[in-house]
Each structure stands twice: as structure tokens, then as C-alpha cells.
Amino acid sequence: MKRFVCLLTVCALALALCACGSFAPRMAVSVQRVAALESLRVEAVTEIEATMSAFGADVPYQLELRLRGDVQREPARGFFELTISSGEEGEKLYFFAQPAEDGTIRVYLSFDGQSWEEYVVEPGELAEAATELATPNPVDFIKLGVGLSQLFEQSGTVTLPDGEGVVYEGVIPGELLQEALRSADDLESLLPSAAAEETLSLVGDVPVRLVIGKADNLPRSAELDLTEALREPCAALLKAYLGGFGMDFGIESLKMALSFSDFNQVSVSVPEL
């Protein structure tokens, strides 16, 4: 389902660019402003609450994925910190990436932020990864955002550290997401085509809340409630694998929050090996 999460994330970004007052003119301004940024910080938090049932016993399960990334344009590089928590303590992974002149990408990985291992990602591997993710053309997502923005309405304002933000709320229809995912091969690689189509048809609506800077038109945050969208599809997928063992896995809550800050204030340094 990685393509689904990727789709929703970029949908949120597209909406953040488009849902700014009068949609069409504000979209043009937003795209220009985001494209002109030299750096920014992105934070993404995914929280999952679920229940695993096995042999008549229910076991609650909680998982939090927290990603913070600093990205700059010149020289192009990014530093990311991923924390995976299931309980009180979390496991961390740090990684740094920077394109090289030969077309490769230098990647540094660390589990403590102190000791680093260097890897080189070849251009062919990059192409293969891009094909696997099958991320559509960004222009297509901007067009998608324009269409989706018509489903959103301004619901108020909030105070931001540097001014005022405009709040927009709406719902991405499950039918639209189903159609966008129908050409994906992820489900068909897991299930027969008939089962994949049945699972895909269960994808539900996604409520979204956006906050846009009123003065600068830059996206500040996006909150997506994926609970209803993924509860039944995930249950169908997991039942296909775990049902024969007397096990079940039900999602109680699945939410994603994105935030954007430190525009043109981030500086990314190369880790010391």
C-alpha cells in the first residue's frame, strides 16, 4: 500500500498549493513560491492504533512513524531522521542523501547520529526505484489538486508563529482514490486480480484539513484521517494472509499529519564519517 500513502501525501501537497482563497490565481502564486524556495523543513507523523486478534484473545497495538527532513536546493542535499515507536521507546534511523556529479546519490546511514556508513546508489537503481513507486508527473498532481480544491471550503483561521493561517477542510472521495490506484500493480502483486479489484473497491473517503499561510501562500500543515479509507482494504488483505491461522488485524485509527516550516532557513551539512 506504499503507493496509496504516497498518493495521499502528494494529494495533500497539491491541495495545499491549490486551496488558497481564490483557487486558480492563488495556485499559480503558491506553485511559484514553493518552486523558488531554497530550503525547508518537512515533518510527517503517522499514528496507527489497531487490535490483533489471535485464538480468541485481543491484543492492542500502537505504532508511530515520525519523519523529520531538512532539504536544501544548492547544493542539493537532504538530512532525515526517522523514529519508529511501538510503546515508550523508539528506534531511530538517520540518513543523508546528496546527488553526485556522476549521476549517483551518496547516502549515509546511522542508527545513533554519530557513526555513519556510506552507500552509493547507482543511476540504474534510482530508475528502478522510481519505476517501482510509479510516482505520477507532478503536473498531474497539480491538476488533481485543482479539481480536489473545489471540494474544500474555508473553515476558519489559526494563528501561526509568523502570522495568520487560513484553514480549509474537505474530503477526498474514495472513488477518486480508487480510480487513481486502479493502474497500480501493488495489489496485483499480492493478490489475484479479482481479489485486488475487490480490495481496491473498499478504499473509503479521506477527510483532510489544510492550513495555508495567509500572507505568503505557503503550505503549513496537512492532516489526513486514513482510518475509514484503509480499515476495510487492510482487513481484506490481512485476512487473505492471516485468516487461515485464526488471526485478524483491525485498524482502529490511522492518521497522518504533515507540517512545513523554516522556509529558506535550513542548512544541511555533510555528516562526518
Q: State pLDDT tens for residues 20-66.
A: 444 445 555 666 777 788 999 999 999 999 888 777 788 888 899 99
| Residue 96 and residue 270 in contact, taking contact as beta carbons nearer than 8 Å | yes
Domains of the chain by residue range: 2-66+137-260
CA 44 from chain center: how many Å?
7
- What digits encode the pLDDT tens for the residues 94-139? 999 998 888 888 999 999 989 999 998 887 655 455 444 444 444 4
Query: What pLDDT band is residue 5 in, cutting at 50, 70 and 90?
Result: very low
Cis before 136? omega within 30: no
What are phi and psi for residue 50, nearest 5 degrees?
-145, 170
222: amino acid identity, one letter: A
Whether residue 1 is predicted with pLDDT greater than 50 in this model: the reply is: no
* Residues 214, 215, 221, 224, Cα dihedral to 10°: 30
CA–CA dist 122, 200 (Å, integer): 34
Question: What are the two backbone dihedrals, phi and then psi, of residue 103, each rounded to the nearest 5 degrees?
Answer: 95, -10
